[in-house]
Amino acid sequence: MTEIFGVPLQALMGQLVLGLVNGSFYAVLSLGLAVIFGMLNIINFTHGALYMMGAMFTWMLLEYTGVGYWWSLLLAPVGVGLIGILIERVLLRHVYKLDHLYGLLLTFGLALMIEGLFRHLYGAAGQPYAVPSQLTGALDLGFMFLPKYRAWVIVASLAVCLFTWYMIEKTRLGAYLRAATENAKLTQALGINVPLMVLLTYGFSVGLAGLAGVLAAPTTQVGPLMGSNLLIVVFAVVVIGGMGSILGSVVTGLGLGLVEGLTKVFYAEAASTVVFIAMAIVLMFRPAGLFGREK
Amino acid sequence: MMRTKLSWPSVAGVALLLVAPAVVYPVLVMKVLCFALFACAFNLLLGFTGLLSFGHAAFLGTAAYLTGHALKVWEVPTLVGLILGTVGAAALGWVIGSLAIRRQGIYFAMVTLALAQLVFFVLMQAPFTHGDDGLQGVPRGTLFGIDLTNDYALYYLVVALFVGAFWLIRRTIDSPFGQILKAIRENEPRVVSLGYDVARYKLIAFVLSAALAGLAGATKTLVFNFATLGDAHWHMSGEVVLMTLLGGMGTVFGPVVGAALIVTLQNELAVVAGSLVTVIMGAIFVVCVLAFRRGIVGEGIALYRRMIGEKVG
């Protein structure tokens, strides 16, 4: 059997793929955070809770109504997006004019509420969710077995990121969004409904978080606590990559996923901390972040 | 130079603390004092320097474990244990602070949160913390020959520590150094343009805040005889933000009031609401941000100023 530094190739590739899967979630979540920050000037602490909600909705749909994975892939993100729209309308719009810190504190409180509520209703332990039958099994690539579901998560996440990039950079709606990010007042003066844009941006971005939650459901235990720990890692990813560019978010997210996967193979004890260590190193040598453009 | 005056709320507060054990369970008051000190230390950063640290649990937790380990395993005297915890937290504060002050505003909050999570994972894996079981059975020891296993004896030590630390914070706020911190909060570029080394001021404030948060953690271990991972968890970092926000950030007494309220509330709610406590804490957060940003003490001061006809700025 082929070995690299004493590690079987199969195990190494397996961890790298798993790293890419985690990296895909980092990419989708940090992308959403960046888009929300650009438009709303808020660091959305609720992002992790809404990701969790996407996964919980998926599980609930199957448990209570028998609706399967593929419909959940559509319904759960839409549900999360609608809840996001409600949050924006009722709560967030009151803090836009205040210091950034208040947006962070408000969404933090909201995250506690959502997480606490699901914990109250379903307990802290997670529930298993089966991989859809079309995606069970693995592909034999010759040098490794690639589980189909993991491949699907990576491909789907990248497609979502690409779609978001296309929407923002290449469409008229995206041009409005970029204009409003740059100068909201002037954009409004040109007859573009900026509050509506803000609403849609938030709804869409948290919908992405919900989608990531659906994708994650079969890869982990679906439970109330799955969002918050992930979100703190995503914060580190955002600090490393900066929130300036979509491409930056994707590259940083995937890259750190790979780093994490490699760490699991060679020094498993540090796997949960390596992203934070990477952040500390980046802060020492490139304080503005790899793709930094501070706002 | 401004002198820190003995204000009547301070005198009344100390008097109240001295007689409190006659009517209230001393352990509860000690718990409140530990968290009040924690919140005051945090407020030195958020309220007076304008830096939102979302990772202060790291200092509380690290000091709690350090003091506990020193007292239980190394069997050092109580005072040495307390000092070790405080100094350890200060050192950690220096490391985290030097990294975090490289970024501003919202990034500062994210960096401190992420580094505190790093500390949490390290504590979780380190053998001396005993993982989820926590470090249990920490002896209180003696101080100047007085046996601290007596709750009342320990109570007056905790009161002395709290009053001393509180005085230090007030003294810092009123000092020329504190004036510069407040200037950084109001307008950082202007302070830079006046020729002050802003990074140094921020770092000193951060280390001082971390050290005092550490003292709170060390004292807490002494009171409860144990240290747990919960002390270092990000929930704890959120709680201290909430205490400060609810009481009134940037006010001297706000964090004390906030800490007393939250600790009492959690004690009461744990019985009736069970797992809904987190939801209620979250709701208080939301209400504070939307409608109550000055906090209880801040609103009180504003009301008082309106009553005596002063214009509120």
What span, in angstroms and rounded, lies between the C-alpha atoms of B110 and B139?
36
CB contact under 8 A, B113 and A116: no
Average pLDDT over residues B139-156: 86
Q: Is B121 on the interface with A (CB under 8 A)?
A: yes
B91, part of any domain = yes
Closest CA to B240 of B60, B17, B95, B28: B60
CB contact under 8 A, B289 and A102: yes
Name the pLDDT band for A249 (thresholds 50, 70, 90): confident
CB contact under 8 A, B289 and A106: yes
Sequence ranges of the domains in chain A = 3-285
Provide the angle, in degrees to the nearest 10, between the axes of the packed helices B295-307 and B254-272: 130
Q: For B286, which of A110, A284, A287 is closest by C-beta distance?
A: A110
CB contact under 8 A, B290 and A91: yes
B105: left (phi over 0), alpha (psi -120 to 50) or beta: left
What span, in angstroms and rounded, lies between the C-alpha atoms of B136 and B27?
17
Q: Is B126 on the interface with A (CB under 8 A)?
A: no
- As given in the structure block, the two tokens for residue A51 are 């990701």
- As given in the structure block, the two tokens for residue A189 are 């003066």
B18, part of any domain = no
How much is the pLDDT for B16? 86
Q: For B285, which of A37, A101, A108 is closest by C-beta distance?
A: A108
How much is the pLDDT for B48? 94
Closest residue in B to A274 (Cα–Cα): B118
Q: Is A269 on the interface with B (CB under 8 A)?
A: yes
Cβ burial, residue A97 (10 Å; 0-12/13-18/19+)? exposed
Q: Which of A142-146, B3-7, B280-284 has the lowest mean pLDDT?
A: B3-7
Q: Which residues pair with A222 in a beta bridge?
A: A127
A276 interaction partners in chain B (CB closer than 8 Å): 114-115, 117-118, 121
CB contact under 8 A, B278 and A115: yes
A94 interaction partners in chain B (CB closer than 8 Å): 290
> ipTM, 2 decimals?
0.91
Closest CA to A195 of A68, A55, A92: A92
- As given in the structure block, the two tokens for residue A259 are 């780093």
How much is the pLDDT for A196? 92
Judged against a pLDDT cut of 90, whether residue B175 lies above it is answered with yes
Q: Which residues pair with A65 in a beta bridge?
A: none
CB contact under 8 A, B279 and A273: no
A275 interaction partners in chain B (CB closer than 8 Å): 114
Cα end-to-end distance, chain A, whole Å: 51
Name the pLDDT band for B6 (thresholds 50, 70, 90): low
What span, in angstroms and rounded, lies between the C-alpha atoms of A18 and A150?
7
B76: left (phi over 0), alpha (psi -120 to 50) or beta: beta
Average pLDDT over residues A174-201: 90
* Residue B136 contacts residue B226 (beta carbons within 8 Å): yes
Average pLDDT over residues A73-92: 96
Q: Is the four-CA dihedral A250, A256, A260, A262 of positive or negative sign?
A: positive
CB contact under 8 A, B106 and A283: no
How much is the pLDDT for A295? 44
Closest residue in B to A119 (Cα–Cα): B275
CB contact under 8 A, A116 and B281: yes
Task: Give backbone dihedrals phi and psi of A146, rounded to 5 degrees, phi first.
Answer: -105, 110
Which residue range is the domain that position B277 belongs to? 23-307
How much is the pLDDT for B1? 44
* Residue B53 contacts residue B46 (beta carbons within 8 Å): yes
Query: In sequence order, which residues have a C-beta less than 8 Å from that of residue B271 and are 6 or more positions away?
Result: none
Q: Where are the beta strands (DSSP E) in chain B?
A: 142-143, 146-147
Judged against a pLDDT cut of 90, whether residue B64 lies above it is answered with yes
Q: For A280, which of B99, B241, B274 is closest by C-beta distance?
A: B99
B71, part of any domain = yes
Total domains in the fold of chain B: 1
SS3 B169: helix
Quote the mean pLDDT of chain A: 90
Enter the pTM of the model. 0.92
Alpha carbon of A269: minimum distance to chain B alpha carbons (Å): 8
Total residue count of chain A as it appears in this document: 295
CB contact under 8 A, A239 and B114: yes
pLDDT digits (tens, 9 = 90+) for B25-34: 889 999 999 9
Q: For B279, which of A106, A120, A239 is closest by C-beta distance?
A: A120
Alpha carbon of B239: minimum distance to chain A alpha carbons (Å): 10
Q: Is the four-CA dihedral A159, A211, B282, B267 of positive or negative sign?
A: negative
Name the pLDDT band for A292 (thresholds 50, 70, 90): low
Closest CA to A118 of B275, B274, B268: B275
Judged against a pLDDT cut of 70, whether residue A107 lies above it is answered with yes
Place of tokens 């009722």: A90
- DSSP annotation of B253 reads S
Judged against a pLDDT cut of 50, whether residue A211 lies above it is answered with yes
Alpha carbon of B278: minimum distance to chain A alpha carbons (Å): 5
- As given in the structure block, the two tokens for residue B279 are 């939801």
Judged against a pLDDT cut of 70, whether residue B3 lies above it is answered with no
Q: Is A268 on the interface with B (CB under 8 A)?
A: no
CB contact under 8 A, B286 and A104: no
pLDDT digits (tens, 9 = 90+) for B233-252: 999 999 999 999 999 998 99
Alpha carbon of B125: minimum distance to chain A alpha carbons (Å): 8
B83, part of any domain = yes
**Mutation target vs A (from B113, B237, B249; most A CBs, 10 A cutoff):** B113
Distance, C-alpha A217 to centroid of its chain: 13
B286 interaction partners in chain A (CB closer than 8 Å): 91, 106, 109-110, 113
Q: Is A276 on the interface with B (CB under 8 A)?
A: yes
Alpha carbon of A90: minimum distance to chain B alpha carbons (Å): 11
A114 interaction partners in chain B (CB closer than 8 Å): 282
CB contact under 8 A, B282 and A110: yes
Question: What percentage of chain B reaches a pLDDT higher than 90?
Answer: 70
Q: Which residues pair with A139 in a beta bridge?
A: A146
Q: For B238, which of A112, A277, A279 is closest by C-beta distance?
A: A112
What span, in angstroms and rounded, lies between the C-alpha atoms of B21 and B178?
34
Average pLDDT over residues A8-24: 90
Judged against a pLDDT cut of 70, whether residue B49 lies above it is answered with yes
User: Tell me: domain A3-285, CATH 1.10.3470, correct?
Assistant: yes
Closest CA to B275 of A95, A128, A115, A196: A115
Average pLDDT over residues A109-134: 91
| DSSP code string of B90-153 | HHHHHHHHHHHTTS-HHHHHHHHHHHHHHHHHHHHH-GGGTGGG-B------EETTEETTSHHH
- As given in the structure block, the two tokens for residue A229 are 């720990």
Query: In sequence order, which residues have a C-beta less than 8 Å from that of residue B80 and are 6 or more positions away?
Result: B70
How much is the pLDDT for B307? 87
* Residue B217 contacts residue B81 (beta carbons within 8 Å): no
Q: Is B236 on the interface with A (CB under 8 A)?
A: no
Q: Is A119 on the interface with B (CB under 8 A)?
A: yes
B290, part of any domain = yes
Q: Which of A72-81, B12-21, B205-214, B278-287 has the lowest mean pLDDT?
A: B12-21
